[in-house]
Structure 1
């Protein structure tokens, strides 16, 4: 009897846990009605004047962002773009077997795509900035990771779009899947007659479009949305085969590009380790290095006492340890014509120092930008004048208070500069410091009080 009660309690707990997990991951819990979803998808195919103007402005903004290499501007354009809804409708119509809705969605999306390409092509044709930027180049070599981003983004997009209570999912998906930038980059390829940008960027755009639509179709099936019309098994199989073939053909190049990207990164790390660990000599310095993956060659430039051929042969044999056996080593040795050993040493030192200085200058510039950003953020958060006045009203012994923000590598500091009518005790100074930290929400405080 006791054992039966224990078993019943265990079964009850298991059922409770099961219900909790089902409710936790229930994809249908807060979804719209099927009728509302149908109406929304129908509405997505309706393109009109305002949509076209919004689309063209978004394309212009994205093109400018790409042209000036501004990530923030590009993100803004992606938030404005109305392209996402049409893609979700294409996937939805595929799942509910509504070929009429599919044709309308394809037509609307095709019109939007053509207008986008024309708009971006016009912009880049008249823009005085003709050189491709890093943001453009980044859109020309899509990989399998772009496929996964589009797939997961599409799932999030259709789930968020079918909820009764709307959220910020669609804007987030628009940013993550990046429909606008590759389309604008393709426009740049048309304007400048560069096939690399046109084909590479349009391939990325096609990947995003296809896998957002496929993920939307998958979620629509999981939501149990009823089909709009019946379809014979033969026709359904033919459509499934067409979709499968398009998907496989689309994915294969991204897999190859992704594999090459991983391999290139691995080789780059191996070459770096090889140069760091093997090119260590007492009287000779490695001052410059480069590599060419297509030619399978590593080039190094040495300054100082020349190394002999036996050492070079040893370095070539050591390449096998780093999986670089297919590479050849090209060594350039720079010697100094002067017979003076001290002059030779000076030349080596100067070459090494020039390389080190260039690296330090890059690091210093990065630190300056970081500090400037920290200072601007800190100043934006606080009303320093109000804080200064408040300090004078709270601490009657202080006058002429001035608050400010400084920042360095260790973080932000809130500072207080003031005059004191009397000598302050350690306890009073501690109270002022604690108030300053609490008021500013800055962890570190510094006081500069001139005591009379």
Structure 2
């Protein structure tokens, strides 16, 4: 049985408690006099209120930010995406909601929530509309980067929100620019719109989780910072406890799915390493992996590998498949191709042949995906697409109702930029060619642009054009410009205005691959 403390022990313990209380009181006094009393709470609250409500300016800037964001995402341009982050006005109502919750101003909180809801709906609707009418609907690297949030994203949002709330409380709002870039509210919202427009619910749900994570984290961390700086003085103890419980519950609710997402990312990284090491271990120390592809989301897990080895093993595929299934804890479907190589020049030559074989398989798959994409984007059937895999070129006989020649040329440029070193040529249908404008016998800028478009269309169709009207001199000038582009012309006397047209009746037989 333990003995009761003696008087000396009680005296010692009491002295320590008094010393700790005194030190804590000293820090509280310093915090109150040196920090809290230097903050103009009324001015801070006034500024936060001004930016927290719905207004025409807020909706306009949000729409502009959403438009810039989705175009940057579709073009996979980080610079454009960053520009959208900087002008997005969502930070105002989010921080406002945090301060409103801290001081218990529920009218202000309701106004901020309405502004956030209106901005979110507008952003999703506008980005979805742009994606729906856009010829580009590919999941780019910028889009994919915002579809799998994890605990690290939550940590980024926490640190960014701490910096943002501090800068607003202490009057150093220049820091908010970095916070806007770090938390990236508008790009995830744009990806939500992309997922909605393309009915890609994996993209939709992942981006929505990232957006909600950033939004809630900024608001709740702003609440904690406001309370730390004394903005919650008017709240009762019961209200403070209720707020604390709410904040903890929200963070836990966000952390759980983000934790599982992070665990999945870690598993995939380890699985990729295990796949490589297991195949090599079963094939022998002299074997080398020439090419490997795998899909960890398939059921069973799909793995395709090309192996260079001095001695092929008949059961290498079965052994590797069984070992992988054991290591990954999932069924595996392995396709293993073995190339026997020796040493010296023969080994090098065979390795090159194996690499070419793997490259050919990859090229065939790439061309198949490109053909499917062109059929959707250009409104063409498979019989209207000609693919030259060796030259990495594709010709599409596009038919888009109501599209102009300028639209077809712009579409060709965009598809080519997004087609990973493939050259794409769009052959437009037989539609009206533009008028060639001259002023005092000289080509105008509009006339040069029209001739450039005529030359492009004639090259793509490999057909001559006719120039009708204008003076003899202007017809010769226009014909010379087209001749420089390799386009044959027929000159026809007509009225004072020069028009371009197709020189012959055209059929619908497939054209050869053009050289222009």
CA-to-partner distance for each residue in 1:339-376, whole Å, 9 max, x for gaps? Answer: xx999968724324648999xxxxxxxxxxxxxxxxxx
Give the gaps of 5 or more residues in structure 1: 1-18, 359-452
| Cα deviation digits, residues 388-408 of structure 1 (max 9, x gap) | xxxxxxxxxxxxxxxxxxxxx
Q: 1:49 and 1:223, CA in 2 relative to 1: closer, same or farther beyond 3 A?
A: same
Choose the corresponding residue for 1:80, options 87, 96, 113. 87
Counterparts of 1:167-316 in structure 2 under 5 Å? 167-228=173-234, 230-231=235-236, 233=238, 237-238=241-242, 240-275=244-279, 279-280=283-284, 286-294=289-297, 295-296=300-301, 298-302=303-307, 307-309=312-314
Could you tell which deviates more after superposition, 123-132 or 152-161? 123-132
Q: 1:153 deviation in Å? A: 0.8
Q: Do 2:306 and 2:338's aligned partners in 1 also have CA atoms closer than 8 Å?
A: yes
Question: How much has 1:88 moved relative to structure 2?
Answer: 0.8
Measured in 2, the distance between the counterparts of 1:244 and 1:281 equals 52
Counterpart CA distance in 1 for 2:50 and 2:355 is 66
- Taking the TM superposition and a 5 Å limit, the aligned residue runs for 1:25-424 are 28=35, 32-164=39-171, 166-228=172-234, 230-231=235-236, 233=238, 237-238=241-242, 240-275=244-279, 279-280=283-284, 286-294=289-297, 295-296=300-301, 298-302=303-307, 307-309=312-314, 323-324=327-328, 328=332, 330=334, 332-333=336-337, 348-352=350-354, 354=356
Q: Is this contact kept in 1: 2:283–2:316, CA < 8 A?
A: no
TM-score, length-scaled by structure 2: 0.56
Cα pair distance change 1:130/1:314, threshold 3 Å: closer
Contact 1:30 1:163 in 2 (8 A): no
Give the paired residue count. 333
Q: Identify the residue that residue 417 of structure 2 maps to in structure 1.
A: none
- Whole-Å Cα distance in 1 between the matches of residues 213 and 229 of structure 2? 24
Stretches of structure 2 that go unaligned for 5 or more consecutive residues are: 1-25, 361-516
Deviates more, 1:273-282 or 1:241-250: 273-282
- In the other structure, the counterpart of 2:504 is none
Matched-pair contact (CA < 8 Å) for 2:280–2:288: no
1:150, 1:211 within 8 Å by CA — same for their partners in 2? yes
Aligned to 2:14: none
| Greater relative contact order, per chain length (Cα 8 Å cut-off, separation 6+) | 1
Do the aligned partners of residues 349 and 152 (structure 1) sit closer, same or farther apart at CA in structure 2, a change above 3 Å counting? Answer: closer
Q: Tell me the TM-score normalised to structure 1 length.
A: 0.63
Q: What do residues 14-67 of structure 1 show as CA deviations (whole Å, max 9, x unaligned)?
A: xxxxx99x999x993896401111111221223322222222111111111001
Quick one: distance in 1 between partners of 2:277 and 2:309?
22
Give the CA deviation at 1:130.
Answer: 1.6
- The Cα offsets for residues 195-240 of structure 1, whole Å up to 9 and x where unpaired, read as 2222221111100000111111111111112444x4572x665555
